[in-house]
Amino acid sequence: MNQEFSSHIIFVLVSLIALLLMVFLIVITLIIRYRKRKKENQEMQEKFNQVLLSSKLEIQEQTLQHISREIHDNLGQVASLIKINLITLDLTNPVQAAEKVENSRELIRQLITDLKILSGTLNGDKVLRNGLLKALEHECMRLNHSGAFISTFTLDGQAFNITPEKAIILYRMCQELMNNAIKHSDAKNINIAVYCQMKNMRIEISDDGKGFEPEKILGDHFQSGNWLGNLSNRASLIGATITFDSTPGKGTTVNINIKQT
């Protein structure tokens, strides 16, 4: 009887020790997983902050380049015409002088209007404060203003609000896609369409250019820093997805999908 009781006690103690060990191992595993997840979240947040800062700097750089081109190509030309009119003004010929003065007045009005338009793009953050959709519409207007492209902006549905940080990254992604189309696609039409349904928003950027083969660019070099990989990484950081639909000779369509959180 005592032997059976002792055996029972030993069994209970062994079971209790095994249970405590199991609980200990579970707690240790949970702690390790928690620390690992916390570290991953911190790394993700740091990466997000780096991409956000990079996007802000790229927007500012893009804005400054645009202003530089506008000053050189448009404002500088108008200012030069005004200067020529004033230098060649012949007060001994009242009729001709009056024509040049009136022409100079028209040029000054044009110069003021162009300066007002240009001042609207002086600060990328200011554009974004008006909302992502207004910023994208402004990009299309800017392309049309250049005279080299035809660009349309369309909105289908009711857009939902997203955080300013996500808006900045989305805006920069769209800018990069449009700039690639401008520089490399030989397109004449570059369009932006935004489709909103329930809690999903899809931004479609399309052109009628020469197209390309996305799989060749991605391929084995997805992690090597090419522009398609960079765009995909940026999309994943803000919980979005991006798809590339392009065929040589048939243009390109890129879709960015993001859900409301």
* pLDDT one-digit tens code per residue, 5-15: 567 677 777 77
Q: At what angle do helices 164-184 and 2-70 cross, to 10 degrees?
A: 50
Edge-to-edge strands, sheet with 200-207? 153-156, 190-197, 200-207, 252-259, 240-246
Rounded Cα distance, 157 and 191, in Å: 17
Is the Cβ–Cβ distance between 148 and 189 less than 8 Å? no
Q: Verify that 252 and 148 share a domain, yes or no.
A: yes
Could you tell me if residue 257 is inside a domain?
A: yes
Could you tell me if residue 46 is inside a domain?
A: no
Position with higher pLDDT, 230 vs 153? 153
> What are the two backbone dihedrals, phi and then psi, of residue 194, each rounded to the nearest 5 degrees?
-115, 125
pLDDT, position 153: 96
Position with higher pLDDT, 231 vs 80? 231
DSSP, collapsed to helix, strand or coil, labels residue 242 as strand
Q: Residue range 125-150: average pLDDT?
A: 81
Q: Verify that 196 and 111 share a domain, yes or no.
A: no
Q: Answer with the one of 81, 96, 122 that is the final residue of a domain.
A: 122
Domain count, the chain: 2
Which amino acid makes up residue 119?
A: S
Q: Verify that 101 and 138 share a domain, yes or no.
A: no
Residue 159 reports pLDDT greater than 50: yes
| Greatest mean pLDDT among 38-52, 139-153, 244-258 | 244-258
Position with higher pLDDT, 162 vs 219? 162
Q: Verify that 88 and 147 share a domain, yes or no.
A: no
pLDDT, position 222: 44
Q: Taking the CB of residue 114, how many other CB atoms lie within 10 A of it?
A: 16
Rounded Cα distance, 99 and 45, in Å: 63
Q: Verify that 253 and 181 share a domain, yes or no.
A: yes
Q: Answer with the one of 54, 87, 122 that is the final residue of a domain.
A: 122
DSSP, collapsed to helix, strand or coil, labels residue 2 as helix
Q: Verify that 137 and 261 share a domain, yes or no.
A: yes
Q: With a threshold of 0.75, does the pTM exceed it?
A: no
Q: Verify that 91 and 162 share a domain, yes or no.
A: no
Could you tell me if residue 152 is inside a domain?
A: yes
Q: Verify that 224 and 140 share a domain, yes or no.
A: yes
Residue 70 reports pLDDT greater than 70: no
Q: Give the burial class of 163: count Cβ atoms within 10 A of its Cβ; 0-12 exposed, 13-18 middle, 19 or more buried.
A: exposed
Rounded Cα distance, 257 and 170, in Å: 10
Could you tell me if residue 235 is inside a domain?
A: yes
Could you tell me if residue 51 is inside a domain?
A: no
Q: Verify that 102 and 158 share a domain, yes or no.
A: no
Residue 196 reports pLDDT greater than 80: yes
Could you tell me if residue 201 is inside a domain?
A: yes
Q: Answer with the one of 74, 95, 122 that is the final residue of a domain.
A: 122
CA angle 155, 161, 164 (to 5 degrees): 110
List the CATH number of the domain containing 242: 3.30.565.10
Q: Verify that 222 and 155 share a domain, yes or no.
A: yes
Could you tell me if residue 230 is inside a domain?
A: yes
Rounded Cα distance, 55 and 228, in Å: 16
Q: Verify that 200 and 245 share a domain, yes or no.
A: yes
DSSP per residue, 26-78: HHHHHHHHHHHHHHHHHHHHHHHHHHHHHHHHHHHHHHHHHHHHHIIIIIHHH
Domain residues for the domain of 90 are: 62-122
Q: Verify that 113 and 213 share a domain, yes or no.
A: no
DSSP, collapsed to helix, strand or coil, labels residue 145 as helix
Structure tokens at 13: 């103690």
Could you tell me if residue 5 is inside a domain?
A: no
Lowest-pLDDT choice from 46-55, 136-145, 232-241? 46-55
Residue 255 reports pLDDT greater than 90: yes
Q: Indicate the average pLDDT of the chain.
A: 80
DSSP per residue, 166-212: HHHHHHHHHHHHHHHHHHHS--SBEEEEEEEETTEEEEEEEE-S---
